[in-house]
């Protein structure tokens, strides 16, 4: 049994539809809020050392701000060769 009593050949049907116009909408890029830079910090005051600024020096043996008589020195250091430098206060 055949579905149709008459033998049919396939037919190609072209249906033209009206072309709708494509509308392009440009959306501006969302701009992130720009935060102003933080205000400049006050510069820190220069480091001013405190305490005794006297320097003691034994050539080839010792330089420091502690009197050499209070420091354990090598046996070949001569305390008689100590030179003392005291900075002047402004």
pLDDT tens digits for range 49-85: 777 788 999 998 999 888 888 888 888 888 899 999 8
* Cβ neighbourhood burial of 57 (10 Å; 0-12, 13-18, 19+): middle
Position 88 scores a pLDDT of: 76
Q: Provide the CA 58 distance to its chain's centre, in angstroms.
A: 45
In-domain check, residue 76: yes
In-domain check, residue 63: yes
pTM: 0.43
Position 58 scores a pLDDT of: 92
The mean-pLDDT minimum among 14-23, 25-34, 49-58, 81-90 falls in 14-23
Mean pLDDT of the chain: 81
CB 57 within 8 A of CB 83: yes
In-domain check, residue 2: no
Domain span at 76: 55-85
């Amino acid at each position: 049994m055949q579905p149709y009593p008459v033998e049919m050949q396939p037919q190609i049907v072209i249906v033209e539809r009206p072309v709708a116009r494509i509308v392009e909408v440009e959306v501006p890029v969302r701009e992130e809020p720009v935060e102003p830079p933080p205000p400049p910090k006050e510069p820190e005051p220069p480091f001013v050392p405190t305490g005794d600024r006297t320097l003691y020096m034994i050539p080839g043996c010792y330089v420091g701000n502690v009197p050499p008589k209070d420091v354990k020195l090598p046996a070949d250091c001569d305390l008689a060769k100590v030179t003392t430098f005291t900075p002047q206060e402004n």
